Structure 1
Amino acid sequence: MRLLLVEDDDHVAAALSAVLTRHGFHITHARSGEEALRSLVPDSECFGVVLLDLGLPDQDGYEVCGKIRKLTATPVIMVTARSDVRSRIHGLNLGADDYVVKPYDTGELLARIHAVSRRTVQEDPATGAESTALLLGPVRIELPTRQVSVGGAAVQLTRKEFDLLALLAQRPGVVFRREQIISEVWRTSWEGTGRTLEVHVASLRSKLRLPALIETVRGVGYRLVAPAG
């Protein structure tokens, strides 16, 4: 797996790169936010995971995470000394898939990398190449091509339906607040758009023919329950 390590301390990066390389990762090291973003532009090298330090010399790591989310759905793990709950919540709300506090156990970091990558990376058996996809039982979500299939049969979704499904599918079992979904999918505030969200959820359930796939958490929001099979 190709991994983008965003870390301005060369000594820390060298030590971590050595460990990750021994475990089969191919490392690209970026020393700044700008360098990281250049590595992730369309048509550049495809990464399975981004390890993002927050204390970067040119930009705050939170800002970089937000920009990464606009470029790619590649999983982002924040690695930082900021251990307070508010910082963790802020990072996850910006789109990070996980948050690891320094100092950390290397074994735990490796486990977290594999955990987030399992949801997005599958090897094409014909070519041996990695492709970015979310696999949830019979549901396959191709992020780069924005294609969805259930049991191998293609399902036609609107742009917002796909964005909603992809958002929920990136963290199965996690409850997304209605306000958060509206903010991330529609890029607007909750006021006046609640009915729009309900309509899109109903449409997804109907088109996918899996009514239990998206669970309503009363008074809070929605979560995706991965089906078997």
Structure 2
Amino acid sequence: MKETGKDPGKSGKPRVLVIDDEPRMVDFIKLGLEYEGFEVECAFDGKTGLKMALAEPPDLIILDLMLPGMDGFEVCQRLRTTHDVPVIMLTARDELNDRVHGLDLGADDYLTKPFQFKELAARIRAVMRRKSSLPVEQTGNVKLLQLNDVTLDPNLRELRRGAQTIELSAREFDLLSLLMSHPNQVLTREIILERVWGYDFMGEGNVIEVYVRYLRQKLGEPNLIYTVRGVGYVMRSKPKESLKNEMD
């Protein structure tokens, strides 16, 4: 099972690792987080940041995209092979493809520079609250989720359909886990955003639709995820003919 952030240190404060090559930005974030009660460590390049994160996983990582030596995408990708530490990515480039790519690699949220500190603080609270509420983090031993021939293993974070193993990003896994935990129950967009992205999520308005489309493509046929227009989504064990015309 992947490792998560370690318990708070002797100070009892949650630990945040900031990886950014701009000293002024690092100071800005560090001072704000320390005022908010966090213990803060800093790295100014990707390789050093990754080494620090692997040696002693913090409770959360703030990761800049454009870094010398190893960019934020690669740091996040390597980190996700062994650790589930929450990651918020920062970038000066407001490109949708960059945001989607970062989220697909396992980032928990994405924030474009420049930003106000209170927005960063809100996103940190949302990500940490969401991570701390996941059953797999609390118990380390969660039963398999199964619907027809689809099996989701929260302990290994592994998806199988029949004999095929399917790779998912961290966000795709969390969304599918939520849907499979409530089979045949319609979940509203508000509930999905709250449970998967957090109360304070401020991203793209169609983010749920985008990730549902990703899941449908990866799961293949027959489709099990249905759109209930004007309400939300449901994962059905027995597809209903009356809902076929409501699928995206």
Give TM-score, length-normalised by structure 2.
0.58
CA distance in structure 1 between the aligned counterparts of 2:57 and 2:51, rounded to whole angstroms: 12
Q: Is 2:84 aligned against 1:37?
A: no
Tell me what 1:215 maps to. Answer: 234
Q: Is 2:105 aligned against 1:94?
A: yes
Select 1:172's aligned residue among 165, 171, 196. Answer: 196
Q: Is 2:34 aligned against 1:21?
A: yes
Structural mapping, 1:128-147, within 5 Å:
134=134, 140-142=135-137, 146-147=140-141
C-alpha deviation, 1:46, in angstroms: 3.4
Number of residue equivalences: 172
Q: What CA deviation, in whole Å up to 9, does each residue of 1:160-206 have, x standing for no partner?
A: 52215872259627463464588xxxxxxx4xx636996xx9xxxxx
5+ residue gaps, structure 2, are 1-13, 160-169, 179-194, 198-207, 226-232, 237-245
Q: Which region of structure 1 is more displaced relative to structure 2, 173-182 or 27-36?
A: 173-182
CA distance in structure 1 between the aligned counterparts of 2:127 and 2:29, rounded to whole angstroms: 18
Equivalent pair of 1:40/1:72 in contact (CA under 8 Å)? no
C-alpha deviation, 1:17, in angstroms: 0.5
Select 2:153's aligned residue among 145, 154, 161. Answer: 161
CA distance in structure 1 between the aligned counterparts of 2:222 and 2:45, rounded to whole angstroms: 39
Tell me what 2:125 maps to. Answer: 114
Q: Identical aligned pairs, as a percentage?
A: 34
Tell me what 1:125 maps to. Answer: none
1:29 maps to a residue whose letter is: C
Select 2:79's aligned residue among 45, 68, 85. Answer: 68
Q: What CA deviation, in whole Å up to 9, does each residue of 1:20-56 have, x standing for no partner?
A: 1111011111111111221222xx4232211010110
More strand by share: 1
**Cα-Cα RMSD:** 3.2
Tell me what 2:17 maps to. Answer: 4
In structure 1, the residue corresponding to 2:234 is in which secondary structure?
strand
Q: What CA deviation, in whole Å up to 9, does each residue of 1:100-139 have, x standing for no partner?
A: 1111011111001000100113xxxxxxxxxxx61xxxxx
CA distance in structure 1 between the aligned counterparts of 2:93 and 2:212, rounded to whole angstroms: 24
CA distance in structure 2 between the aligned counterparts of 1:109 and 1:6, rounded to whole angstroms: 15
Task: Give the 3 Å change call, closer, same or farther, for CA 48–90 of structure 1 in structure 2.
Answer: same
Task: Give the 3 Å change call, closer, same or farther, for CA 76–197 of structure 1 in structure 2.
Answer: farther
Equivalent pair of 1:7/1:56 in contact (CA under 8 Å)? yes
C-alpha deviation, 1:10, in angstroms: 2.1
Give TM-score, length-normalised by structure 1.
0.63
Equivalent pair of 1:76/1:97 in contact (CA under 8 Å)? yes
CA distance in structure 1 between the aligned counterparts of 2:153 and 2:121, rounded to whole angstroms: 33
